[in-house]
Every structure is written in C-alpha cells, then in structure tokens.
C-alpha cells in the first residue's frame, strides 16, 4: 500500500471520527436538555406532553426557528414538526429561552385564545425587556388588557375611524408611487412599504406624521431583530444588545413627544387627534387614575412596532400573490377601474363609500391573510 493511500485512509478515518463524535455529542446534549425540562414536570405531566423535541441547551430550537422565519417559507419550521412527528396539531419545543408548546390547528388555537381561566398572557423574559417588563400591554391584568385593547383599537378599526385618515393615507401612497416611478434604480418593496406604513401609523398614533423622524425606522428594525434573536445576550456586538439600545432611543423620542403633546393639549383641546391623546385622557378601570407615563410610552412603542412591521408584510404578500395569480389581479383591477368610472367629475380623492365597494380587493386581502399566516399543511388550516 502506498503512502498516498495510507494518507487518504487516515483522512477519511479522522473525518468519520469527527462526524461520529458530533452526532453523538449532538444527540447527547439534546437528550440531556429534554430530560432536564421533562423531569421538572414530574411523571404525571410528562406522560401528557405532545411530541416534539427541546433542541439544544440554552438555545433550544431558536436557530432553526429564526432561519425559517427569515426565509421565503416561514412555515417550514412547523412543517418540519409535522413531517417528523405527524399531523397532531400540537408539539413541544424550546423557543426564546423557554420550554414551549406550539399549537397550529384551528380548534386548539381557538381554545387557547378564548379560555382565560386556564391560559394567561405571558411572554419570555427576553421579550419583556424589549417591550416593557411591567407597564405594558402584556404586563397588565386580563381585565385591564381588554380595556386598553378596546381603547387603543377604537380609533384605528372600523369605517368611521378609517374615514378620518383616508385623505392622508391616499396622499402618502400616491406620492410614494410617484417617487418610485421617477426613481431610476430598483427598489425593495418591503422596505418602501415599511416607510409608507411608518408615516401612516405615526400620524394615527401620535397625531402628527412629523412627530417621529423616519430615520427612527432603523431603530425599530433593530428592535424587531432583537425580538427574533436566537441568543438574547445583552453584550455589545450581539443583536439583542443593539435592540435594547434601540429601545432606549425610541423611548426617549416618544417620551419627548408625549411631554410636548400634553402641553399642547392643555392649551388647545382641538389638538387631540391621535391615539396618544386618548391615552393621556384614559383612566385605569381599577383605581380610576390616569395612565402613567411608562405605560403610555410602552403602549405607543408596541403599537408602532407591530403596525410598522405587520401591515407592510401583509401588503407585500398581497402584491406577490396578485402578481402570481393574474386572473385575480385582473378582477381586482377591473373593480378599481369601475369604481373610478362611477366617480363624479367634481370628486377629488378616495371616499369611504368607494372603499366599501371594493369587495374583490377585500376578499383578496382576506385570502392573503389566511394563506400567509395560516399556510400549514393540509389538515391544519
């Protein structure tokens, strides 16, 4: 046997040993991690756990979760659980540093979301630090949560509320589209839609589109990245640390605007045009006291973050799906053309009545939300 053959066999032997050691260590660590959580529950509760695995120590399954979330197929994380453990609709895992149960069947989701006696609002500690550990929408009692949710959604949801913002929304979208047309370089649709939505949400929540600079969007992006960080470590250089720093900057900006808004409202009651003004006047249902500054700032931060991301993603998916389904796009386009054709010559701009006539577009949006958010394998939709 030549020395060359010996060297080749030695390389393959070392490679096989490394792969075998990695496979053993991986299996051992994951099994140890699962035993750690399972034994803490006790034998009785252990026997009732759904299928799944707890992943790596400390990290859990966050790496695969984040990888799926940032891919073009975010449902691949859940699909992988279905493929490995069957179509049970419920699985155990470990996410955000906590043992977790994933529920993905409509029936189980409905039970979890409507059963306030057995289920409480709760978030991992890493998320609480980013969204507000105590005084925030997810850090209050169930009754106060319902009260605040109703208070916050009333100026946003419904046709009557929408009618107050139609003109501004239309002007913002049209001016952005015109800017895209005259831009010779390519644009990233999601990024541009985030900018549009940020201006709209700022106007609705803060009462003024100029209250928070558009440059603040980068801090919201860092905060959002921190929410999805697989390693919530508060050390310089880590995503989670940058998110905490971004939160401090955003809180200072919102607090400054809150102080300014409070002074303006005292001088002129007619300035009360945003959700922020409702929060300044709102009272706690339990003690009748007005909401404190910390709660108001955390509520506005959370709503700006949620509205900034979710609506932009929904609009992006709607654009993608209509592009991929030209027949649906044609029906939506014909509906819009017909609405404009019936418009009186004296009318300028979109009206609430015209929005109510957009049945085809409304169905396309509903289907986008159903498919983009609930796109699980057959049987779990």
Confidence of residue 362 (pLDDT cuts 50, 70, 90): very high
Is residue 364 situated within a structural domain?
no
Mean pLDDT of 253-265: 79
What distances in angstroms separate CA 108 from CA 49, 54, 157, 188, one per listed residue? 15, 21, 27, 37
Q: Say if residue 92 is in the same domain as residue 240.
A: no
Is residue 72 situated within a structural domain?
yes
Question: Could you count the other beta carbons within 10 Å of the beta carbon of residue 364?
Answer: 20
Q: Say if residue 109 is in the same domain as residue 201.
A: no
Confidence of residue 263 (pLDDT cuts 50, 70, 90): confident
Q: Say if residue 146 is in the same domain as residue 115.
A: no
CATH number of the CATH domain containing 156: 1.10.630.10
Q: Say if residue 24 is in the same domain as residue 108.
A: yes
Distance of CA 83 to the CA centre of its chain: 26
Is residue 129 situated within a structural domain?
no
Confidence of residue 378 (pLDDT cuts 50, 70, 90): very low
Question: Is the distance from CB of 226 to CB of 244 less than 8 angstroms?
Answer: yes
The span from the CA of 164 to the CA of 168, in Å, is: 9
pLDDT of 117 reads 78
pLDDT of 288 reads 67
pLDDT for 323-348, tens place per residue? Answer: 999 999 999 999 999 999 999 988 88
pLDDT of 271 reads 57
Residue with the bigger pLDDT between 116 and 180: it is 180
Q: Which range of residues forms the domain containing residue 13?
A: 3-119
Average pLDDT, the chain: 78
Q: Say if residue 62 is in the same domain as residue 185.
A: no
Q: Say if residue 63 is in the same domain as residue 195.
A: no
Q: Say if residue 92 is in the same domain as residue 173.
A: no
Residue with the bigger pLDDT between 227 and 353: it is 353
Among residues 106, 50, 59, 44, the alpha carbon closest in space to that of 379 is found at 106
Is residue 242 situated within a structural domain?
yes
Task: Name the phi and psi angles at 49, rounded to 5.
Answer: -70, 145
pLDDT for 67-88, tens place per residue? Answer: 887 777 778 888 888 888 888 8
Is residue 231 situated within a structural domain?
yes
Is residue 338 situated within a structural domain?
no
Number of structural domains found in the chain: 2
pLDDT for 296-310, tens place per residue? Answer: 888 888 887 777 778
Is residue 332 situated within a structural domain?
no
Q: What percent of the chain has pLDDT over 70?
A: 73
Question: Is the distance from CB of 197 to CB of 311 less than 8 angstroms?
Answer: yes
Is residue 268 situated within a structural domain?
yes
């Amino acid at each position: 046997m030549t020395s060359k053959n010996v060297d080749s066999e030695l390389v393959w032997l070392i490679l096989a040993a490394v792969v075998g050691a990695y496979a053993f260590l991986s299996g051992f660590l994951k099994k140890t991690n699962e035993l750690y959580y399972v034994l803490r529950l006790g034998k009785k509760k252990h026997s009732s756990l759904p299928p799944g695995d707890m992943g790596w120590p400390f990290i859990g399954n966050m790496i695969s979760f984040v990888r799926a979330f940032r891919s073009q197929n975010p449902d691949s994380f859940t699909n992988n659980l279905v493929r490995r453990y069957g179509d049970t609709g419920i699985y155990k895992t470990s996410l955000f540093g906590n043992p977790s149960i994933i529920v993905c069947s409509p029936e189980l989701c409905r039970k979890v979301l409507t059963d306030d006696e057995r289920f409480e609002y709760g978030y991992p500690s890493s998320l609480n630090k980013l969204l507000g550990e105590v005084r925030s929408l997810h850090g209050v009692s169930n009754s106060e949560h319902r009260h605040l949710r109703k208070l916050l959604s009333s100026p946003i949801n419904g046709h009557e509320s929408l009618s107050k913002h139609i003109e501004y929304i239309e002007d913002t979208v049209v001016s952005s589209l015109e800017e895209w047309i005259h831009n010779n370089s390519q644009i990233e649709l999601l990024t541009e839609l985030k900018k549009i939505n940020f201006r709209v949400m700022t106007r609705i929540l803060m009462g003024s589109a100029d209250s928070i600079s558009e440059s603040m969007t980068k801090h919201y992006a860092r905060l959002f990245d921190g929410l999805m960080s697989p390693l919530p470590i508060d050390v310089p250089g880590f995503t989670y640390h940058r998110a905490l720093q971004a939160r401090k900057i955003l809180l200072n900006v919102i607090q400054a605007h809150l102080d300014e808004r409070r002074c303006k409202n005292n001088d002129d009651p007619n300035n009360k045009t945003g959700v922020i003004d409702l929060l300044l006047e709102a009272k706690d249902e339990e003690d009748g006291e007005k909401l404190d500054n910390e709660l108001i700032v955390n509520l506005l931060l959370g709503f700006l973050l949620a509205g900034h991301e979710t609506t932009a993603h929904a609009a992006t998916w709607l654009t993608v799906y209509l592009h991929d389904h030209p027949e649906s796009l044609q029906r939506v386009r014909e509906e819009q053309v017909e609405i404009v054709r019936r418009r009186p010559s004296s009318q300028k701009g979109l009206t609430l009545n015209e929005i109510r006539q957009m049945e085809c577009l409304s169905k396309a949006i509903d289907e986008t939300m159903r498919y983009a958010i609930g796109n699980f394998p057959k049987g779990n939709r």
